[in-house]
């Protein structure tokens, strides 16, 4: 799958200018220039990409059509289909989702006074299948000698355009070092210097080096350790089982969920005193036709379930596009090319081998500049399948830091491209922004409680921690800080709770909202899995211009 | 390889289909009309959900790959392996010690290794699987951790092992033991934990939380960047 | 001089004192033993049955690693592989001999190892004792700082260093390499008839009684001939003749325990490399009271 001839010719131009670019930095944009490129080229700022939600507690909020479509869809199940008296699982704490947040929540629930077999974790794929596992770059924690949680706080707030919930951010930064300690006690191998100190790297928008990593398999390493611990404790687990609707009791508190066996297509009723949403984000909705870095199950189920019971959402107008997703070869289009490549010296260059943007602008600005180069200035490369992209000049990394750097620090990236006959140590890679992260979500407080009693949320499904824009390494951190809190406080809540009669009345209410808003649609949600059958599997066409 | 063709014929569980030649096995199956419930995960080579065995027409050789990372080839007989029946031992990591025999104690079957190296050849991550099994036999926990670090637990090594070893579960135990008992502790992390426990940053954080957006923005813009 | 060195699994676990003392002693003699960067079990746990191909894979792959070291420039044109464990020595040496003699078997092995580096047959398997003999025991004697004066040592070979004929390191009927070494170190050699008798080997797992009896015969004979300490070159012999003395003591009243050490421990001691390197605290029957009484430590 090596590059076709016409792309090779452009690579030759890139090679010609390489020497002259070493040590050269394209100037950072002024605030005005940033605003302009964002306004004109960032997908979030695009006219017509969003609409105002017509129902529910967030009525009037702007969000992408693809998200609004889900929230303005009919619930997947109707109350008549479900016999709520036939309780299949009866537990204290139900955890929905098997990624980093769900695993942490389940572990902490069992440590907080809930009997092991009074916890249930359900996940619609396998345990651990999640975006958590795919994280490459790292996890932030202000434990460096010249760093402090106060500086971390400032970075998170500034990165989020000050729209974050400061109480959540305080908890995030203060518990970060403890998360690292917890991981190490469980047996996570962090990158360390010979004296035992942590290898700390910088990231976009951080004022200190505070990125902790496990090579470029950070998420994989942490997730598999949590999975192993989860299995050692023999906590009840139902894989390939999705939650399709929450259940409330007659007081309006969440009291479990309607589960759906993805294989046998049967419904089960799970009654739970406390329910934790840890369902992740919505990358697989392919907002505006964008490819995504996200895993197969990232279909935004959690915000749909929460909204059905009337939980308040927030910041869903802001979607994160990672500036550098793979644009070639076709087989890996949209997959992540970690920010760490640019922090190590790889420069974005256009088809003529020219620099056109500073490599470490904030993620949204960097992404917009790449889109401008491809679509506004026509200086991108068009792939055989119609994707556009610019070069990310990865060979610079070994030139700057010495041979072997890529092999040592970017094992996953090197392997990924090698599989398709591209050696990133010798050839640049073609990149284009890719849908990466759901910045907002279900609003929570520091106890991971949503606005509806009995319902907790943690991880990407939740909103408030990152405001309008998340920084690299804070999503991994959030998983464990708020996953643990969700487990602990859900256990505490469950101890004090006596459930009332189970109902699905909120489904009827939701149908009423739809009707009152005059929404007529055949759509049903949650969608559980994306639809790729037939021609749909071929590259998505970006609906930008 | 012959000249490039725009489509190829693949056999999914024995049934022939014509698919675009540029697709991965996973996308080719979706193109055909399969909707994965099992056998698809991250779709980016990080999770090991899509372990697949295939044989090319006319070849005796059984090959292994991740469906999301392997491009279809003409005449491929494809069988997906969405689940590996692997035995994982349970243990309390806090009660173990990194002794030379602990891996053998929990996974005595590693002593059955014949050094046939089939596991290594089945690994879609190109890891030296047999080498780490051998390191496990001799109790070299650090070496097992190092060699197995990039493992995705896809299950292919376990499915191919004639000695019926599940290498990745052994490796998981070794990595946890290494991190918990053998890796050096980070002094700066311990210091920071103590400072946080003593409330060193509480007052300052409280003050920041009380600031207006403009005041906070000013502090943010003025903060010293030392990276 | 640098040599490829194959430790074997036991030397990394229960026989650390063997490896530590051997590496330090070799270094003291100007030999650097470089552990193979990649290695697997020598294959001894699988029988070397005549018609079996599969079981040759492990030893042959170890030999390929020696050729790898030369290919990668870690060694230059040195294909000699040094071993310590008698079991590993025997397995590797025999496998090497068999495949070199039998191109048909080699071809079959390469068929099974497909896509791996083939074995070119360049390697020579050695035991450290052979290397010492080659260097000359007078050289060893020159390096001695603290001669083992007055220590009566019985060298024990067991089976695998000497048999089968043609694969051993010395004449199986009257070996002398360890005897010569001990003399070079300044010790007194106690020769005894059972020095090449089997220690009971893997019977130690299921039939402790067989091993206890073998150990009793070997050790009490050494004692009767005047030995104060036994020196050997195999971790399994060591286990059977040391750990099993507890059973021997129970089964055979009147038996007096006798320390059993690796020959490399005596070498390190005589070279004055320090007690730490010798690892005498790891020997099951503590040799230190004896050595102290002789003012050797």
Beta strand residue intervals within A111-188, DSSP E = 119-122, 139-140
- Position A246 pLDDT exceeds 90: yes
CATH 3.40.190.10 fits B7-80, yes or no: no
- C27 prior amide bond cis, ω within 30: no
- Is C94 an interface residue toward B (CB < 8 Å)? no
Please check whether residues C149 and C283 belong to one and the same domain: yes
Interface of A with B in 285-304 (CB under 8 A): 293, 295-296
Q: Domain check: are A15 and A123 in the same one?
A: no
Taking an 8 Å cut-off on Cβ atoms, the answer to whether B187 and A197 are in contact is yes
What pLDDT is recorded for position A202? 85
What's the start-to-end Cα distance of chain A, in Å? 29
Q: Do B201 and A145 touch (CB under 8 A)?
A: no
Q: How close are the terminal C-alpha atoms of chain B, in Å?
A: 50
Instruction: Kindly state whether B108 is in contact with chain C, defined as any CB-CB distance less than 8 angstroms.
Output: no
Supply the CATH number for residue A463's domain. 3.50.50.60
Same domain flag for C68 and C108: yes
Q: Are B68 and B154 in contact (CB under 8 A)?
A: no
Cβ contacts (< 8 Å) between A202 and chain B: which residues?
227
Using CA atoms, how far apart are residues C160 and B145, in angstroms rounded to an integer?
Answer: 34
pLDDT, average across residues A221-248: 98
CB contacts < 8 A, A to B, total 227
Q: Report the alpha-carbon angle B56-B57-B62, nearest 5.
A: 40
Out of A194, A232, A533, name the one closest to residue B35 (CB).
A533
Same domain, A214 and A282: yes
Tell me: cis bond preceding C200? Omega within 30 of 0 counts. no
Question: Are C46 and B130 within 8 A, CB to CB?
Answer: no
Considering the domain architecture, whether residues A103 and A209 belong to the same structural domain is answered as: yes
Q: Is there a single domain that holds both residue A383 and residue A313?
A: no
Judge whether A530 is closer than 8 Å to chain B, CB to CB: no
| A448 and A404 share one domain | no
Binding partners of B (≥3 Cβ pairs within 8 A): A, C
Element holding A424 (H helix, E strand): none
Examine residue C136 and state whether it is found in any structural domain, yes or no.
Answer: no
Check if C43 contacts B (Cβ < 8 Å): yes
Q: Which residues contact B207 (CB under 8 A, 6 or more apart)?
A: none
Would you state the structure tokens that stand for residue A259, as one six-digit string?
């589960």
Average pLDDT score, chain B: 95
Tokens of A157: 């707030």
Counting Cα atoms < 13 Å in the Cβ hemisphere of A48 gives 5
State the residue for tokens 């440590």. Answer: A111
Residue that terminates a domain, selected from C77, C98, C128? C128
Interface predicted TM-score (ipTM) of this complex, two decimals: 0.97
* Beta pairing, strands A441-443 & A313-314: antiparallel
Least Cα distance to A68 among A272, A364, A226, A282 occurs for A282
Pair A139, A230 in one domain = yes
**Which residues does B96 contact at the CB level (< 8 Å), separation at least 6?**
B102, B177
Last residue of a domain, which of C97, C128, C159? C128
State the Cα torsion A423-A428-A431-A436 to the nearest 10°.
Answer: 60
Note whether A154 contacts B223, CB cutoff 8 Å.
yes
pLDDT at A91: 98
What pLDDT score does C46 carry?
Answer: 66
| Domain shared by A236 and A334, yes or no | no
* Domain assignment present for C282: yes
Scanning every residue of chain A, which has its alpha carbon at the shortest distance from the alpha carbon of B4?
A1
Residues C112 and C215 in one domain: no
Q: pLDDT band at residue B1, thresholds of 50, 70 and 90?
A: very low
DSSP 3-state of B108: helix
| Residue A295 to residue B177, Cβ atoms within 8 A | no
Of the partner residues C12, C58, C61, the one whose CB lies closest to the CB of residue B140: C12
User: Among partner residues B70, B184, B196, which is closest to A177 by beta-carbon distance?
Assistant: B196
Is residue B40 less than 8 Å (CB to CB) from chain C? no
Rounded Cα–Cα distance for residues C134 and A149 (Å):
66
Same domain for C154 and C284, yes or no, is yes
Tally DSSP H helices, then E strands, for chain A. Answer: 15, 22
Among candidate residues B149, C181, B109, C272, the one with its CA nearest the CA of residue A190? B149
Confidence of residue C284 (pLDDT cuts 50, 70, 90): very high
Residue A78 has, within 13 A of its CA and on its CB side, a CA count of 5
Residues of A in contact with B204 (CB under 8 A): 150
Indicate if C175 and C279 belong to the same structural domain: yes
**CB C13 to CB B134 under 8 A?**
no
Q: Which residues in chain A (118-147) have CB-CB distances under 8 A to chain B? A: 125-126, 128-129, 131, 133-134, 141-146
Q: Which of B47, B92, B179 sits opposite A232 (nearest CB)?
A: B92
SS3 C188: strand
Calpha distance B133→B171 (Å, rounded): 8
Query: How far does the CA of residue B110 sit from the closest CA of chain C (Å)?
Result: 11
Please identify, among C128, C155, C172, the residue that sits at the C-terminal boundary of a domain.
C128
Out of A358-362, B103-107, B153-157, C216-220, least confident range = A358-362
- Determine, yes or no, domain membership for A517: no
Closest residue in B to C46 (Cα) is B114
Question: For chain B, which residues make up each domain, given as ranges?
Answer: 7-80, 102-182, 194-221
Q: pLDDT at position B3, please?
A: 41
Fold match, B7-80 / B102-182: no
Question: A30 and chain B: CB distance < 8 Å anywhere?
Answer: no
- Residue C39 touches partner B, C-beta closer than 8 Å: yes
- Please tell me the predicted confidence (pLDDT) of residue B187: 97
Domain that residue A395 falls in: 5-41+320-435
Contact yes or no, B with C (3+ CB pairs under 8 Å): yes
pLDDT in tens, A144-185: 999 999 999 999 999 998 999 999 999 999 999 999 999 999
Residues C194 and C220 in one domain: yes
Respond yes or no on whether the N-terminal peptide bond of residue A526 is cis (omega within 30° of 0): yes
Are residues C123 and C151 located together in one domain of the fold? no
Ranked by mean pLDDT, which of A39-53, A261-275, A409-423, C39-53 comes out on top?
A261-275
Q: Please write the tens of the pLDDT for every residue from A204-227.
A: 888 999 999 999 999 999 999 999
For residues C121 and C150, membership in a common domain is answered with no
Residue pLDDT, tens place only, A395-409: 999 999 999 999 988
Whether C83 and C173 share a structural domain: no
Tell whether B130 is within 8 A of chain C (Cβ). Answer: yes
Kind of pairing, strands A139-140 and A211-212? antiparallel
Residue in B closest to A194 by C-alpha: B184
CB C232, CB C262: distance < 8 Å: yes
Using the beta-carbon criterion (under 8 Å), do C58 and B114 form an inter-chain contact?
Answer: yes
Name which of C213, C288, C220 is nearest C244 in CA terms. Answer: C213
Same domain, A260 and A195: yes
Looking at residue A71, its pLDDT comes to: 98
B46 contact residues in A (CB cutoff 8 A)? 133-134, 217, 219-220, 412
d(C-alpha A251, C-alpha A508), whole Å? 16
Neighbours of A34 (CB within 10 A): 18
Number of domains in chain A: 2
User: How many domains is chain C built from?
Assistant: 2
* Closest C-alpha among A265, A275, A208 to residue A241: A265
**Chains B and A are touching, with contact defined as 3 or more CB–CB pairs separated by less than 8 Å:** yes
Instruction: Give the number of other Cβ atoms within 10 Å of residue A412's Cβ.
Output: 22
Q: Is the pLDDT of residue B128 over 70?
A: yes
Query: Model confidence over B172-182: pLDDT tens digits?
Result: 999 999 999 99
Chain pair B-C, CB pairs under 8 angstroms: 44
Instruction: List all residues of chain B from 94 to 123 with a beta carbon under 8 Å from chain A.
Output: none
A183 and A35 assigned to the same domain? no
Specify whether the CB–CB gap between A142 and A177 falls below 8 A.
yes
Burial letters C193-228, b for 16+ CB under 10 A, else e: ebbbbbbbbebbeeebeebbbbbbebbbbbbeeebb
- Residue B14: which region, alpha, beta or left (left: phi > 0; alpha: psi -120 to 50)? left
Q: Cβ contacts of residue A490 below 8 Å, gap of 6+?
A: A93, A105, A109, A274, A275, A276, A448, A456
| Residue C179 lies in domain | 143-293
Averaged pLDDT, C217-225: 97
The crossing angle, in degrees rounded to 10, of helices A218-232 and A166-186 is 70
Report residue A47's pLDDT band, with 50, 70 and 90 as the boundaries.
confident
Q: Check CB contact under 8 Å for B114 and C46.
A: yes
pLDDT digits (tens, 9 = 90+) for C130-157: 999 999 999 999 999 999 999 999 999 9
Q: Would you call B1 an interface residue with chain A, using a CB distance cutoff of 8 Å?
A: no
Q: Model confidence at A254, in pLDDT bands (50, 70, 90)?
A: very high
What confidence score (pLDDT) does residue A28 get?
Answer: 85
With 0.90 as the threshold, say if the pTM is over it. yes
Let me know whether A394 and A464 are in one domain: no
Q: Does C113 sit within 8 Å of B138, measured CB to CB?
A: no
Active site residues of A: 322, 342
Question: Regarding beta strands A388-393 and A347-349, do their DSSP bridges make them parallel or antiparallel, or are they unpaired?
Answer: antiparallel
The stretch B82-106 carries a mean pLDDT of 95
Between the CA of residue C104 and those of C51, C84, C99, C101, C107, what are the distances in Å?
Answer: 12, 30, 8, 9, 5
Please check whether residues C157 and C286 belong to one and the same domain.
yes
User: Closest Cα partner for A421 from B82, C164, B70, B79?
Assistant: B70
User: For B183, which of A125, A166, A192 is closest by C-beta distance?
Assistant: A192
Indicate the residue of A129, A157, A532 with minimum beta-carbon distance to B41.
A129
Cβ of C115 within 8 Å of Cβ of B111? The answer is no
Are both C106 and C176 inside the same structural domain? no
Instruction: Tell me whether residues B45 and A198 touch, CB distance under 8 A.
Output: no
Strand partners of residue B8: B19
DSSP state of B141: H
Same domain, A165 and A179: yes
Highest CATH level, class, for B102-182: mainly alpha
Q: CA quadruple A337, A342, A346, A349: dihedral positive or negative?
A: positive
With CB atoms and an 8 Å threshold, state whether C40 touches B130: yes
Cross-strand bridge partners of residue C125: C81
One domain, residues A296 and A329: no
Give the pLDDT score at C47.
Answer: 60
Residue of C9, C35, C53 to mutate, testing the B interface (most B Cβ within 10 Å of its Cβ): C9
- Tell me whether residues C12 and B117 touch, CB distance under 8 A: no
Q: Do A187 and B224 count as a contact with CB atoms less than 8 A apart? A: no
- Does a structural domain hold residue C138? no
Half-sphere exposure of A506 (CA within 13 A, CB side): 26
* Cβ-nearest to A192 among B27, B36, B184: B184
The C-alpha atoms of residue B70 and residue A193 are separated, in whole angstroms, by 36
Taking 60 as the threshold, does the pLDDT of residue A101 lie above it?
A: yes
Binned at pLDDT 50, 70 and 90, residue C49 comes out as low
Rg (CA), chain C: 19
Ordered DSSP codes for A58-117 = TTT-EEEHHHHHHHTSEESS-GGG--TTSEEEEEEEEEE--SHHHHHHHHHHHHTT--GG
CATH of the domain at C37: 1.20.1050.140
Please answer yes or no on whether B114 and C112 come within 8 Å at the CB atom.
Answer: no
Q: Copy the structure tokens of residue A171.
A: 């908890």
Q: Do B47 and A192 touch (CB under 8 A)?
A: no
* Chain B touched by A386 (CB under 8 Å): no
pLDDT value for B2: 37
**CB of B139 within 8 Å of any CB in chain C?**
yes
Q: Does B197 touch chain A (CB under 8 A)?
A: no
Q: Let me know whether C69 and C180 are in one domain.
A: no
The domain that holds A325 is classified in CATH as 3.90.700.10
Contact A322, B30 (CB under 8 A): no
Residue A180 in contact with residue A190, Cβ under 8 Å? yes
């Amino acid at each position: 799958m090596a590059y076709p001839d016409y792309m090779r010719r452009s690579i030759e131009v890139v090679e010609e200018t390489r020497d002259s670019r070493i040590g050269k930095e394209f100037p950072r944009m002024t605030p005005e220039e940033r605003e302009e490129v964002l306004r004109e080229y960032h997908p979030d700022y695009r006219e017509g990409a969003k609409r105002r939600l017509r129902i529910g507690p967030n009525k009037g909020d702007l969000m992408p059509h693809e998200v609004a479509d889900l929230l303005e869809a009919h619930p997947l199940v109707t109350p008549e289909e479900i016999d709520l008296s036939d309780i299949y699982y009866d537990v204290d704490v139900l955890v929905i989702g098997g990624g980093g947040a769900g695993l942490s929540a389940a572990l902490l629930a069992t440590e907080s006074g809930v009997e092991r077999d009074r916890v249930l974790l359900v996940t619609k794929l396998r345990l651990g299948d999640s975006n958590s596992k795919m994280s490459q770059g790292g996890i932030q924690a202000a434990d460096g000698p010249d760093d402090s949680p106060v500086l971390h706080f400032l970075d998170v707030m500034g990165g989020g355009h000050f729209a974050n919930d400061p109480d959540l951010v305080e908890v995030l930064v203060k518990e970060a070092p403890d998360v690292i300690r917890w991981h190490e006690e469980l047996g996570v191998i962090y990158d360390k210097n010979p004296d035992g100190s942590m290898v700390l790297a910088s990231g976009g928008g951080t004022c200190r080096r505070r990125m902790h990593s496990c090579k470029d398999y950070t998420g994989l390493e942490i997730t598999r350790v949590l999975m192993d611990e989860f299995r050692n404790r023999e906590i009840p687990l139902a894989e390939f089982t999705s939650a399709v609707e929450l259940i409330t009791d007659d007081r309006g508190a969440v009291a479990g969920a309607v589960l759906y066996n993805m294989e046998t297509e049967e419904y089960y009723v799970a009654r739970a005193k406390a329910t934790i949403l840890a369902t992740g984000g919505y990358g697989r909705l392919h907002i505006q036709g964008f490819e995504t870095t996200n895993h197969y199950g990232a279909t935004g189920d959690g915000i749909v379930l929460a909204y059905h019971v009337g939980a308040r959402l927030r910041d869903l107008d802001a979607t994160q596009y990672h500036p550098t997703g793979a644009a070639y070869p076709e087989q890996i289009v949209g997959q992540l090319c970690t920010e760490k490549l640019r922090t190590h010296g790889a420069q974005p260059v256009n088809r003529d081998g020219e620099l056109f943007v500073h490599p470490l602008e904030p993620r949204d600005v960097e992404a917009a500049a790449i889109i401008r180069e491809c679509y506004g200035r026509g200086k991108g490369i068009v792939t055989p399948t119609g994707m556009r992209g610019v070069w990310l000049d990865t060979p610079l990394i070994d030139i700057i830091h010495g041979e072997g750097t890529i092999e040592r620090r970017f094992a996953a990236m090197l392997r990924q491209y090698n599989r398709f006959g591209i050696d990133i140590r010798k050839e640049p890679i073609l990149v284009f922004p890719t849908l990466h992260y759901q910045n907002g979500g279900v609003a929570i407080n520091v106890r991971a409680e949503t606005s509806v009693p009995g319902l907790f949320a943690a991880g990407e499904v939740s909103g408030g921690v990152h405001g309008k824009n998340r920084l690299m390494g804070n999503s991994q951190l959030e998983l464990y800080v708020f996953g643990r809190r969700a487990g602990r406080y859900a256990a505490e809540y469950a101890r004090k709770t006596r459930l009332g009669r189970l109902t699905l009345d909120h489904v009827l209410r939701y149908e009423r909202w739809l009707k009152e808003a005059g929404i007529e649609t055949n759509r049903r949600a949650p969608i559980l899995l994306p639809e790729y059958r037939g021609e749909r599997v071929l590259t998505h066409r970006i609906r930008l211009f | 390889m012959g000249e490039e063709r725009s489509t190829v014929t693949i056999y999914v569980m024995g049934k022939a289909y014509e698919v675009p030649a540029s697709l991965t096995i996973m996308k080719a199956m979706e193109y055909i009309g399969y909707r994965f419930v099992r056998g698809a995960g991250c779709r980016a080579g990080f999770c090991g959900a899509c372990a697949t065995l295939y044989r090319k027409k006319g070849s005796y050789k059984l090959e292994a790959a991740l469906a999301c990372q392997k491009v279809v080839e003409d005449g491929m007989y494809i069988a997906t392996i969405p689940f590996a029946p692997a035995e994982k031992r349970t243990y309390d990591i806090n009660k173990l010690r990194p002794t030379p025999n602990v891996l053998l104690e929990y996974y005595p079957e590693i002593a059955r290794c014949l050094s046939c190296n089939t596991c290594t050849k089945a690994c879609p991550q190109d890891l030296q699987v047999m080498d780490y099994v051998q390191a496990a036999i001799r109790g070299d926990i650090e070496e097992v951790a190092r060699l197995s670090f990039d493992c995705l637990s896809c299950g292919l090594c376990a499915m191919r092992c004639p000695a019926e070893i599940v290498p990745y579960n052994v490796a998981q135990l070794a990595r946890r033991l290494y991190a918990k008992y053998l890796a050096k502790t980070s002094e700066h992390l311990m210091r920071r934990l103590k400072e946080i426990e003593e409330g060193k940053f509480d007052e300052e954080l409280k003050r920041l939380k009380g600031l207006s957006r403009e005041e906070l923005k000013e502090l943010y813009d003025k903060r010293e960047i030392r990276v | 001089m640098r040599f490829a060195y194959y430790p074997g699994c036991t030397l990394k676990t229960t026989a650390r004192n063997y490896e530590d003392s051997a590496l330090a002693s070799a270094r003291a003699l100007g030999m650097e033993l470089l552990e193979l960067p990649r290695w697997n079990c020598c294959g001894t746990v699988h029988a070397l049955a005549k018609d079996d191909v599969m079981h040759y894979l492990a030893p042959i792959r170890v030999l390929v690693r020696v050729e790898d070291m030369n290919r990668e420039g870690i060694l230059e044109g040195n294909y000699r592989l040094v071993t310590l464990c008698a079991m590993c020595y025997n397995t590797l040496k025999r496998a090497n001999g068999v495949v070199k003699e039998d191109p048909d078997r080699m071809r079959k092995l390469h068929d099974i190892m497909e896509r791996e580096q083939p074995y070119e047959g360049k390697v020579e398997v050695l035991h450290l004792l052979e290397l010492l003999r080659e260097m000359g025991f007078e050289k060893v004697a020159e390096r001695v700082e603290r001669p083992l004066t007055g220590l009566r040592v019985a060298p024990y070979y067991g089976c695998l260093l000497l048999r089968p004929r043609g694969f051993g390191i010395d004449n199986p009927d009257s070996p002398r390499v360890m005897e010569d070494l001990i003399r070079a170190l300044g010790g007194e050699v106690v020769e005894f008839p059972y020095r090449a008798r089997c220690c009971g080997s893997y019977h130690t797992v299921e039939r402790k009684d067989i091993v206890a009896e073998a150990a009793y015969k070997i050790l009490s004979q050494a004692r009767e001939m005047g030995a104060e300490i036994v020196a050997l070159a195999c971790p399994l012999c060591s286990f059977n003749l040391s750990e099993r003395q507890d059973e021997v003591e129970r089964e055979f009243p009147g038996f007096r325990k006798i320390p059993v050490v690796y020959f490399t421990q005596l070498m390190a001691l005589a070279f004055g490399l320090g007690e730490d390197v010798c690892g005498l605290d790891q020997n099951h029957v503590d040799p230190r009271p004896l050595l102290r009484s002789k003012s050797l430590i």
